[in-house]
Structure 1
Amino acid sequence: MSTPTPTGTVAGPTIERHSIDYVPWSERRGKLWHQAPFWFTGNFVLPTMVIGFLGPELGLSAGFSFLAIVLGACFGTFFMAFHANQGPRMGLPQMIQSRAQFGSRGVIVPFLATVFVYIGFMVFDVIIANAGIDTVLPGAGIKWIWYPLLTAVSIVIAVVGHDLLHFVQRWLTYLLVIGFAIVTVLAFTTLPAPTGAHAGHWDVVAFFIQFSLAAGYNISYAVYVSDYSRYLPPKSSAPKLIFYTYLGAAGSAVWLMGLGSLLASRIPKVDEIGSIKAVGDNLFPGFGTIVIVISVLALISIMGVNAYGAMLTSVSGIDAFKKIKATQKPRVIGLIVVGILVVIIALLIPDAFQASFNNFVLLMLYFLVPWTAVNLVDFYFVRHGKYAITEIFNPKGIYRRWSWRGLVAYGVGFVVMIPFFSLPGLFVGPIANLLGTADFSFAVGLVVAGGLYFLFSRGLDRQAEAAARQRSQRELEGVDAD
């Protein structure tokens, strides 16, 4: 992280000092538009394209698949982007904010689901990155060599922290846009149009499965968002911040998932690496390889983002039971542990992972939908963005160790989703079965969890919290709260 100088300029880059602690106003800086390329590159990775394969594989035409992707990605990003405003307002990483809704120890419930998301994404990213290396250098993609090496590079980026992650993501955007713009044009102009049964058709179940996967994939990014907006000035424009976050995350998802549906409709045995290479090489032999190299770099970068988030969430969880000093040491230790876990799990997973990846995305949707509903309702409709920050770190404070409001709303929201679950090969709920395995669980979870939390919160002691906010702001910044 860069260190602010007395004049407000920025000195040379250093390892980030902060972890789960509050970022004071004197260290706030950055530009709102930087959120757009950060989230564009964060979502412009090959696992995103895999989501677009499913519609055509279920018999849906490329056009209807694309429509489902647009609607699903734009719907999911709506919830994800509104978390961005929490960063500058609170100056905290995303998940530790949840202590205000669940309690300092009760928050371990969504924390476990969140760490599962981070680790899972890293595992799939390293598998695909290794496959890319094996395509570029045939026979060189030896798992026990490249899995640790790729993971180690991502961990180093995460150790340096917030500023380096923003820098890498921002500059990779230009390479990705150029490379994939050419690949997209080539896919439209050089691949034969599908005919007969391969052209697909309208299928309501396939449409909603594709919609759910696209929505769930982008909702999963909600757990990251204010990790990368918390250094922005506290008075940053909320509409602009939300807009830039939405633009980057939704734009890349629609593009790359849409490209996936196009490739799956025109290539009989589509895969994320071989298809990109084959299409790219239609420009000239070797261009597909160049695009794969860029894609591998993007995968390493997003692995760093995932590792960073997993570390913050894990340290927050441990801190709830055993106080941890917010220094560089626990950050580095946490990142090393995350890296080791990723390598071990990746080595145990079979290479043919697409079916398990789709179920993983749906599982993320199930666990994160009630959390995002509770968190957003609390921020925008209950507390209106005003929190006693020091109390979030005080287990005996106003937010307590266990908060029944958030826990009950989350639990009930999750339980009522179960009959709507549709996990092919694992579990199909009775209502989903009646609907032909179409999955509407996300809508149920959002309404029930968010609605219950809003009702439960009517009994909050507003005066006590207002007094706590005043004390907290004077302690942190020497000024009164708004």
Structure 2
Amino acid sequence: MSSPETATRREGVIEQHSIDYVPASERHGKVWHQGPFWFTGNFVLPTMVTGFVGPAMGLSLGFSVLAVVLGVGFGTFFMAFHANQGPRMGLPQMIQSRAQFGSRGAVVPFAATVFVYVGFLVFDTILAAQGIGLVLPEAKLFWYPVLIAASIIIAVVGHDLLHFVQRWLTYLLIVVFAIITVVAIVHFSSTPLAVDAPAATAGWDTTAFLVQISLAAGYNISYSVYVSDYTRYLPANAPAKKLIGSVYAGATCSAVWLMSLGAILASYLPDPDPILAVRQVGDLVFPGFGTIAVIVSVLALISIMGVNAYGAMLTGTSAVDGFRKVRPTVRLRVVGLTAVGLGSLLVALLIPDNYIDSFTTFVLLMLYFLVPWTSVNLVDFYFVRRGRYAIGEILKPNGIYGRWAWRGVLAYLIGFLSMVPFFSTSFYVGPVAELLGGADFSFVVGLFVSGILYLVFSRNLDHGADAHVEGEAELEGSNR
């Protein structure tokens, strides 16, 4: 572990590592920092939008909050357990998938992951621009490039800056949104209910309850692809229980809080817009406080946009490296981040104005694609290889894990196909979901099918190769 002085000197400089291994001499950071990092990571307006769904479908506020708690509690469980992989392996999250899928087979989950990163970048950009539009002229062609460029700059500086910004934003967000939440509860509980408010006719709806659980779970499961990117600099002996607990607490508390606030707003405000709803409630404190709350939200959005851009760059670089070996230089990171920014800008400009409906579909799609991956990845780490990997071989496109690892690829594909009858989206409803009135719990099916199949397929897996090349000398020699 590096000294505090070394860690201090490293702050403010451009990060040198990307998809390569982080050696022990450069490990730094504290386990508790993971809590505020993931608290702020989840404390963004898209999280609140997820809480709109239950009330919009006729579910009462109480049952909507219950669905949020159950969904977030379940989904974050899988996300948090990825945290332990970072310090043990010293690698970003997705390149670890080569051990299960092969250097080229991993392109399957890589593609889904880039879809998630770019999707969140797009929705965050749209919301941030709308927030800025409350105080400055709203102009997509100006603000979209400016916001994306700001996030790219943060991502270029890299890991330590992202941690620093996320950690300090936590305190500001807690203060501002504690006030917003208390005011919302007091105001709506003491104000006569509007005739057109969803709460006027809300009650129990099985489909809405299950959909809200799925969306809440899927939203936090989607963060599984991020986790090791921000724990890989921790010392290898970081205590697993404290690390997993810190990630779980941070991500769960913010998601439950903000989704529940979203459910409150959606229950009492007809067709709520996240920006306008926050401003409306905030202005009940005093005129202008709502705008302050929105601007604070915009800062959080820009920060998480940097996180998304950073992750998309790491995953895209890993995908390219599987087909053509690359040197993970700072220049390559800048080029990769620029490509991510330009792609996200194009999508943001083309997306329909009714982005809330698009966002709901997006959350479901990323749930479908990521659930089989997280199941395979966690089963491999905790039950098959038990955390023992030849790290240097993972970094080699033609290493001992192969180019196409049939066990992981097959378990993923079968797990995904097993979910199809349970899908329930705006454009397709599977036969089982149709029998259940549109309820979607495909993620449960995908988790169990993919995980169990991979465990079965791996019964005869030879771990001798892993053990033979495992070791610090080999690992350091393979660091590129």
Write out aligned runs for 1:191-202 (5 A): 191=188, 192=191, 194=193, 198-199=199-200, 200-202=202-204
Q: What SS is found at the alignment partner of 1:135?
A: coil
Name the CA distance, whole Å, in 2 between partners of 1:335 and 1:9: 25
The equivalent position to 1:143 in structure 2, one of 123, 140, 144, is: 140
- Are residues 1:294 and 2:293 paired? no
Deviations 1:101-139 (A, max 9, x none): 0000100000000000000000000001111111233xx
Identical residues among aligned pairs (%):
65
Determine the structure 2 residue equivalent to 1:184: 181
Q: Does 1:445 align with 2:446?
A: yes
Counterpart contact for 1:15–1:159, Cα < 8 Å = yes
Deviation string, structure 1 residues 55-107 (Cα, Å, up to 9, x no partner):
11111001000000000011000000000000000000000000000000100
2:375 to 373, 376, 382: 373
Classify 1:136/1:39 alpha carbon distance in 2 versus 1 (closer, same or farther; 3 Å). same
Contact 1:193 / 1:266 at 8 angstroms: preserved in 2?
no
State the 1:34 CA deviation: 0.3
Determine if contact 2:325/2:397 at 8 Å carries over to the other structure: no
**1:411 aligned to 2:408?**
no
Shift of 1:396: 2.8
Residues 118 and 308, structure 2, Cα contact 8 Å, conserved in 1: yes
CA contact (8 A) 1:280 1:288 kept: yes
The superposition leaves residues 30-77 of structure 1 with CA deviations (integer Å, 9 ceiling, x where unpaired) of: 100100000000000000000001111111001000000000011000
Aligned to 2:21, the other structure's residue is in SS state coil
User: Does 1:461 pair with 2:468?
Assistant: no
Matched residue pairs, number?
471
The letter for the 2-side match of 1:251 is: C
Q: Secondary structure at the match of 2:274?
A: coil
2:133 is paired with a residue whose SS is helix
Structural mapping, 1:95-106, within 5 Å: 95-106=94-105
What SS does structure 2 have at the residue aligned with 1:33? helix
Q: TM-score scaled by structure 2? A: 0.96
CA distance in 2, matches of 1:353, 1:326: 35
Q: Does structure 2 retain, via aligned residues, the 8 Å contact 1:65–1:207? A: yes
Structure 1 pair 299–256 and aligned structure 2 pair: CA distance change class (3 A):
same
Q: Mapping of 1:164-175 within 5 angstroms? A: 164-175=161-172
Task: Write the distance in 2 (CA, Å) between the matches of 1:96 and 1:462.
Answer: 19
AA at the equivalent of 2:12: P
**Unaligned segments of structure 1, at least 5 residues:** none
Mapping for residues 105-144 of structure 1, pairs under 5 Å: 105-137=104-136, 140-144=137-141
Aligned to 2:348: 346
Which letter does structure 1 place at the counterpart of 2:433? A
Normalised by the length of structure 1, the TM-score is 0.96
Deviations 1:170-195 (A, max 9, x none): 01001100000000001011232647
Report the equivalent of 1:219. Answer: 221
Offset from partner CA, 1:347-378 (integer Å, 9 cap, x none): 11122211110010000000000000000000
1:228-377 alignment runs, 5 A limit: 228-377=230-379
Is the 1:32–1:240 Cα contact (8 Å) retained in structure 2? yes
C-alpha contact 1:25 1:477 (8 A) present in aligned 2: no
Indicate yes or no: 2:140 matched with 1:162.
Answer: no
Go from structure 1 to structure 2 and tell me whether the alpha carbon gap of 1:25 and 1:262 turns closer, same or farther (over 3 Å shift): same
Contact preservation (8 Å) 2:48, 2:258: yes
Letter in 1 for 2:218: G
Aligned-pair CA distance for 1:379: 0.2
CA distance, structure 1, for counterparts of residue 316 and residue 36 of structure 2: 27
Find the aligned partners of 2:473 and 2:345 in 1 and give their Cα distance. 45
Counterpart code for 1:267? L
Q: Secondary structure at the match of 1:428?
A: coil
CA contact (8 A) 1:194 1:265 kept: no
Q: In structure 1, give the amino acid aligned to 2:380.
A: D
- The answer to whether the 8 A contact 1:374-1:453 is kept is yes
Cα deviation for residue 475 of structure 1 reads 2.2
From 3, 7, 10, the equivalent of 2:8 is 10
C-alpha distance in 2 between matches for 1:131 and 1:382: 47
Distance 1:347 1:6, change over 3 A: closer
- The one-character-per-residue Cα deviations of 1:221-275 (angstroms, maximum 9, x if unpaired) are 0000000000000000000000000011111000000000001111123110111
* Structure 1 residue 395 displacement after superposition: 2.8
Question: Which residue is 1:68 aligned to?
Answer: 67
For residues 437 and 157 of structure 1, do their structure 2 counterparts lie closer, same or farther at Cα, with a shift above 3 Å needed? same
After superposition, the Cα gap between the structure-2 partners of 1:7 and 1:181, relative to the gap in structure 1 and judged at 3 Å, is closer
Compute the RMSD of aligned alpha carbons.
Answer: 1.4
Q: Distance in 1 between matches of 2:218 and 2:280?
A: 29
- Counterpart in the other structure of 1:27: 26
On the 8 A contact 2:114/2:312 being kept in 1, the answer is yes
**Secondary structure of 1:19's aligned partner:** coil
Q: CA deviation at 1:463?
A: 1.9
Contact 1:307 1:339 in 2 (8 A): yes
**Distance between the aligned counterparts of 1:7 and 1:291, measured in 2?**
37
Work out whether residues 121 and 306 of structure 1, in 8 Å CA contact, stay in contact via their aligned partners in 2. yes
- The aligned amino acid for 2:164 is F
**Alpha-carbon distance in structure 1 between the residues aligned to 2:5 and 2:50:** 47
Which deviates more, 342-351 or 426-435? Answer: 342-351
Instruction: Provide closer, same or farther for how the CA distance between residues 52 and 6 of structure 1 changes in structure 2, counting only shifts above 3 A.
Output: closer
CA distance in 1, matches of 2:223, 2:186: 33
Query: What residue number does 1:205 align with?
Result: 207
2:429 is the alignment partner of 1:431: no
